[in-house]
Amino acid sequence: MMIEAVMSQQTSNVITVTEQNFQQVMVEESSKRLVVMDFWADWCAPCKALMPILEKLAAEYPNQLLLAKVNADEQQNIVAQFGVRSLPTVAFIQNGQPVDAFMGAEPESAIRQRLEKYLPKPWDELLQQAAEFQAAGDPGQALPLVQEAYRLSNEDTEIAFMLASVFIDLKRGNDAEAILDAMTMQQQTEPHYKELRSRLKLLAEASETPEIQELQQRLQANPDDLELAYELSVQYSQAGRSEEALETLIGVLTKDRNFRDGGARKTYLDILNGLPKGDPLAARYQRKLFTLLY
């Protein structure tokens, strides 16, 4: 109750720590979110320079961070328990234990860098949801979540691996290969890279059916045979090779927009509608069809 009373007088995640609420802050609060404990005093000029920075950061993370202010002159026992020797001192607490600390008024950029190690990333929840869809055997639902996380994280390596994995699950070998091909030499030393390359190779071997190989050879010998091209696109689609199916069909429609009495266009739209919601591949081939028709 004490902590609630103090918090009601300030913003929701900035509190004043006393001996009465100290244990609750250390144990209960630090188990739910990062506690940033700021030891300060009225006579300390660097403390007064640092506090607005900490309050600004606290306002940016209302649910993930608790700023706990300790007046060092008034709370001598807490100061002694932490072994504070100079002011300001800032300690980061998680699950009842100090995990980081600094003394002096560090610049905002340095404090942000420290916080990044302990605060959940904006894309963590997206990845958790995506992982649940993947585990349930639904990579289509996982794809837009991982793509958004990849964008928000500025193309984090681990998320890139996850995105490639989802593409492989969707039998989208070209998309997975594009991600892996763009990786640096350092990224290519990661175990995930080798594992994904192996899965990609197996996917390519599995999707090269005898029917597809035969149709490819026949179409190469007769490139203007729209029926062969249409049959190849259907085989691509059945093998999960959606991009190749769409690319082959757009070639058919470019030569005959009403091929098979509109059947080729219907197949094209069926493949588009089967792609995950928000998939850039769908948007790209929707534009191609629109440009062709209008």
Active-site annotation, residues: 44, 47
Distance CA 163, CA 148 (A): 10
Rounded-to-integer distance, Cα 292 and Cα 294, Å = 6
CA-to-CA distance for 164 and 61, rounded, in angstroms?
31
Residue 277: closest CA among 178, 170, 127, 176: 170
Tokens of 202: 């197996």
Instruction: Return the half-sphere exposure (C-beta side, CA atoms, 13 A cut-off) of residue 167.
Output: 25
Helices (H) and strands (E) in the chain, counts: 16, 5
Per the listing, tokens 């100090």 go with 98
Amino acid of residue 200: L
Half-sphere exposure of 113 (CA within 13 A, CB side): 6
